[in-house]
Amino acid sequence: MTDKKVWLITGAGRGLGVDIAKAALAAGHAVVASGRNPAKVAQALGTADNLLVVKLDITQPADATAAVAAAIERFGRLDVLVNNAANFYAGFFEELSLEQMDKQLTTSLIGPMNVTRAVLPVMRRQRAGQVMTISSTAGLVGFEFGAAYAASKFALEGWMQSLQAEVAPFGIDTIVVNPGFFRTELLTEESTNFAENAIADYDERRAAQVQFWRGYNGQQSGDPAKLAQALLTISGQENPPRRFLAGADAIATAEQVAAELQQQLNAYRELSSSLAYDEAV
């Protein structure tokens, strides 16, 4: 890829998507900024010769196809896809409705799949490209009140790792980004939804959880503008990482996960290693 790239960013009307788009534009790249409401995207980013604003609801495959076609018509290629659009359905598993689980999986898993499926034919023809997908530390470890979100992110990670093996021969890289807590708009009322079905056994814990999540919005330690710059840095590397742990809290989470996995491996190594067939002599 050349130094100047064409970036397609989902969820570019608010939060981290705006920061990524602004950073890419400032660095001289071309940006296809997408969102469900293109007027809101345009308001957030303004106008520029190397900016194209397109409508893209990631849950609609036809929108993804149209957005990619518009990008190619305007810029002739696509170099970096950033699967950024997100929401958060918070709640205890029993209290989350089937519809809420479906909406979480549709946005966090099926949505990125829709956009990536539309982009890959272009990148295969180019024999170059990057698919950068924003996951979470919830893709590394589950947490109380996060069943839907963690389920979607764990699935996202498995898909991306499998995809890497499939598209690497075409010169395409996949990058999973695991941010810790960043001061984005994920915890605002527009993006966070709470479980609908109250079960008495969870009342006390639910109240504490809702208070925490509502109160934590705007208190996160991570700076999304710095994260956006970091994403440009790793995108520009000759061999970008398969995974980027973003934030000191993300590193601490990953270290804890690795330590616990090693502990479990060691604790049951003998039993696990004894499960092969006893072949007849």
Active site residues: 135, 149, 153
Residue ranges of alpha helices (H) inside 46-110 are 61-75, 98-105
Contact 16, 84 (CB under 8 A): yes
Contact 78, 8 (CB under 8 A): yes
Two tokens at 214?
Answer: 């509502």
What DSSP designation does 146 have? Answer: B
Contact 108, 86 (CB under 8 A): yes
Contact 249, 137 (CB under 8 A): yes
What whole-number distance in Å separates Cα of residue 88 and Cα of residue 269?
A: 37
222 C-beta neighbours (distance < 10 Å), count = 19
**What element of type H or E holds 77?**
none
Radius of gyration of the chain (CA): 20
What whole-number distance in Å separates Cα of residue 112 and Cα of residue 131?
A: 10
253: phi then psi, degrees, rounded to nearest 5: -65, -45
